[in-house]
Structure 1
Amino acid sequence: MDYLTLGRSGLRVSRACLGTMNFGTDPQAPTAEPEAARIIGEFLDQGHNFIDTADTYRGGTSEEVVGRAIAHRRAEVVLATKGAAPQGPGPNDRGLSRIHLTRALEASLRRLGTDHVDLYQCHVPDPQTPAEETMAALDDFVRSGKVRYLGCSNFTAAGIVSSQWAAERHHGAAFISLQANYSLIARAVETEILPTCQRHGLGVLAYSPLGSGLLAGRYQRGAAPDHGSRLAQWAAMPSPVARAFVAGLLAERHFDVADEVAAVAAELETDPATVALAWVASRPDITSVILGPRSAGQLAANLTGLATSLPQAILERLDAATRFTVTPPVTGQHHGA
């Protein structure tokens, strides 16, 4: 098994990270608890050790499902969760303030059924809260033993720098990781964010490596997303940001990239998802790739794709075809694959 050190730390994580946004107990959850437990068991049985969830996934039931599935194997797991997303209607029920993060962490620990998480991440930036307050609160979590390491998600380069400087000024724990939307159709982070992570000691966890399914061929040019699909759900949301995300993702230039991926897959006698995952895994700045399988079969296919090595000529061809692709707007939610 291939393990890498996460950022400027001693934490060793598998190249594959299991994203659990699909897991839950609500009737609309794409993956019900029995199948989720099977996926988690097979993932760990193969030697992978990194599992990521969040307090906002499936109304918190993703954390509950994960917690029950790993209860008897807790020591094998590098368990990551996230806080910041709204947890209620009140003004202090969201964001990166000390009051909200403290409540959010305690609630996550209860749902996960554990006394600590290995990686606690700020899910989204909070421009209303000073970085000093956020980093001081997070450092207190580490000193209390409830959190082992700290990370962030969807932060800008400036946000990363501000946070790392705030931690340094107060001699506290700093971020060791960033979750970033990264795929053949989302490469904007290469300009500033990935170099900033390298300078400031953050490993990078790539989420949505399949471009929310577009690179796997789940959506067709000029056609509305199938009813019940993730994109159909987002398109139906009242949030204009969510609808803008869907429109940006389904841009013509992204279908051009998907066509190129499909052409490469045909030449290599494999499937488009394998090509897309293998490309992300080949990138030197990426520590771990977050997979979001809905079934054990999808997990097996995704792990095969992640372990596939593409010929150098193919890597260069894909790089040239997608280098200037711009990522769609971030919705404020983490997307598994």
Structure 2
Amino acid sequence: MEQLVREGKITYVGSSNFAGWQIATAQNAAADRHFMGLVSEQSLYNLTARTVELEVIPALRHYGIGLIPWSPLGGGLLGGVLQKVENGRRASAQMQQTIERHRPRLEAYEALCAEIGAQPADVALAWLLRNPVLTAVMVGPRTPEQLAGSRQALEVQLSDDTLRKLDEIWPGPGGEAPEAYAW
């Protein structure tokens, strides 16, 4: 990667799906070589998938690296899937199984979103955007309406009470490592 930067073929280097120790190793190796190192990490991160909170996010914060989450809406699960299915949208067999596995959480989540007057997708994106380590949230809208809807996430303000309720519905790993599991 250093050679590609020197040749002007790339400007910055990012990683994807690195563990916290790999991020630390990469940054220390880059520092030893007087190279900038990683500037971003792309990891699976959303309300339903919070494992990166254990070690990846603390490593990113320590090294000043930005996080770009992939699957910010959990493959559609956090986009109001129950309401969409009830309104006749078809779901694959795999998605139907996922919905059934998470149905109690999805019902509580969509009810909370309705209670605060926000669309489920907007709440999921707003939850991500409040994390200072995040560089950007990339979404893949299929329609102009979905794009406009995603921009609404910038307007959603999540109160401490709402954040607490989201943690109850979609619990994270319990904090950062090693405190989350060692004491």
TM category (shorter chain) comes to: 0.7 to 0.9
TM value normalised by structure 1: 0.45
Distance 1:210 1:306 in 2: 15
Letter in 1 for 2:162: I
Which residue in 2 is equivalent to 1:184?
Answer: 47
RMSD of the alignment, in Å? Answer: 2.6
Asked whether the equivalents of residues 80 and 119 of structure 2 are also in contact (C-alpha less than 8 Å), the reply is no
Asked whether the equivalents of residues 185 and 257 of structure 1 are also in contact (C-alpha less than 8 Å), the reply is no
Distance 1:298 1:247 in 2: 22
Q: Residues 255, 166 of structure 1: CA spacing in aligned structure 2 closer, same or farther, 3 A cutoff? A: farther
- Tell me the secondary structure at the aligned position of residue 306 of structure 1: helix
Q: Residues 325, 249 of structure 1: CA spacing in aligned structure 2 closer, same or farther, 3 A cutoff? A: farther
Distance 1:140 1:205 in 2: 24
TM value normalised by structure 2: 0.80
Show the 5 A alignment for 1:191-230: 191-218=54-81, 226-227=91-92
Which residue in 2 is equivalent to 1:271?
Answer: 119
Q: Residues 248, 204 of structure 1: CA spacing in aligned structure 2 closer, same or farther, 3 A cutoff? A: farther
Distance 2:96 2:51 in 1: 17
Which residue in 2 is equivalent to 1:319?
Answer: 167
Structure 1 residue runs of 4 or more that deviate by more than 6 Å after TM superposition: none
Tell which has more relative contact order, 1 or 2 (C-alpha 8 A, sep 6+): 2
- Identity across matched positions, percent: 36
Q: 2:141 aligns with which of 293, 301, 306?
A: 293
Q: Which has the higher helix share?
A: 2
Which residue in 2 is equivalent to 1:307?
Answer: 155
Letter in 2 for 1:142: V
Show the 5 A alignment for 1:1-337: 138-218=1-81, 226-227=91-92, 250=99, 252=101, 254-324=102-172
Alignment coverage as a number of residue pairs: 169
**5+ unaligned residues in a row in structure 1: which ranges?**
1-137, 236-245, 327-337
- The Cα of 1:247 is off from its aligned counterpart by 9.6
Q: Residues 158, 249 of structure 1: CA spacing in aligned structure 2 closer, same or farther, 3 A cutoff? A: farther
Distance 1:309 1:206 in 2: 20
